[in-house]
């Protein structure tokens, strides 16, 4: 009997990807991703877990087209948006100016940015303790900068949005708003990838998890199943 084809629409296909890069200071080459293959589909939120140095961030950069694979292929339906890269913010400019430039970098029109400006600032929470939007970003804490980047990236829909550790910043209210926004992006038939050292954020936001270790894909499945195995392996939630 013929195997039934998956009728879902893929947004990302990673096919046997290896990523290696030189580290001149150590005079060696790091093999960061080793033969990883999977497909991602419309409406999925996929968490990536693994211990430090497991290749999670490198894999996201390969999907975003910022780190060419040494071997293998990455196929995407459109240009993925890697949070914090597409919205390339500048420390000497005000938060307001960075919202405009970040929005343009994300492909928004000036009219769209003007219409969404107040919502972006409110979502980020940077003005909750003063008029920080009028101050240079170099005066912001790292958490404030990360929240503003997420707010800009989340202001528009994405076919594929890649989030690396952004939800580790901010208080419980910001994290809750972020999870709600991820759910909205999924409902709009987008695909979200999330890297976080906090497994609770991945449990709350993702329905599928990829577990990487030493660059290899050890497990790919339902979030609770993979996270339970990962936590049993590491001995911590």
Q: What is the pLDDT of residues 32-91, one digit of tens each?
A: 999 999 999 998 999 999 998 899 989 999 999 999 999 999 999 888 888 754 456 788
Using DSSP bridges, classify how beta strands 28-41 and 10-23 pair: parallel, antiparallel or unpaired: antiparallel
In a domain, residue 92? The reply is yes
The mean pLDDT of the chain is 86
Three-state SS at 216: strand
- CATH code for the domain in which residue 31 is found: 3.40.50.300
Q: Which residue has the higher pLDDT, 161 or 212?
A: 212
CA distance readout (Å), 107 to 7, 121, 160, 165, 199: 30, 18, 14, 23, 31
Domain count, the chain: 2
Least confident of 32-46, 144-158, 168-182: 168-182
pTM of the model: 0.79
Q: Judge contact between 49 and 225, C-beta under 8 A.
A: no
Do 143 and 215 sit in the same domain of this protein? no
Do 126 and 236 sit in the same domain of this protein? no
Q: Which domain holds residue 94?
A: 85-157
pLDDT above 70 coverage of the chain, percent: 92
Record the tokens describing residue 59, joined without a space.
């894999």
Record the tokens describing residue 185, joined without a space.
């992006």
pLDDT in tens, 92-140: 999 999 999 888 887 889 999 999 999 999 988 888 878 899 999 999 8
Do 65 and 176 sit in the same domain of this protein? yes
Do 150 and 188 sit in the same domain of this protein? no
């Amino acid at each position: 009997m013929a195997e039934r084809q998956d009728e879902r629409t893929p947004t990302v296909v990673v096919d046997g990807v290896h990523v290696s890069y030189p580290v001149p200071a150590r005079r060696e080459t790091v093999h960061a991703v080793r033969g990883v293959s999977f497909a991602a589909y419309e409406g999925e939120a996929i968490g990536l877990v693994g211990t430090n140095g497991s290749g999670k961030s490198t894999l996201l950069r390969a999907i975003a087209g910022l780190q060419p694979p040494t071997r293998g292929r990455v196929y995407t339906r459109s240009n993925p948006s890697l949070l914090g890269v597409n919205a390339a913010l500048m420390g000497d400019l005000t938060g307001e100016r960075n919202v405009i430039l970040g929005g343009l970098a994300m492909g928004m029109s000036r009219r769209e940015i003007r219409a969404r400006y107040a919502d972006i600032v409110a979502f980020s929470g940077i003005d909750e303790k003063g008029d920080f939007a009028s101050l240079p970003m170099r005066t912001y804490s790292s958490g404030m900068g990360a929240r503003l980047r997420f707010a800009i990236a989340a202001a528009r829909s994405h076919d594929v949005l890649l989030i690396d550790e952004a939800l580790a910043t901010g208080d419980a209210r910001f994290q809750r708003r972020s999870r709600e926004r991820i759910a909205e992006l999924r409902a709009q038939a987008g695909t979200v990838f999330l890297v976080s050292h906090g497994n609770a954020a991945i449990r709350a936001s993702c329905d599928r998890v990829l577990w990487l270790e030493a660059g290899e894909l050890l497990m790919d499945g339902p979030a609770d199943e993979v996270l339970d195995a990962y936590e049993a392996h590491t001995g911590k939630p």
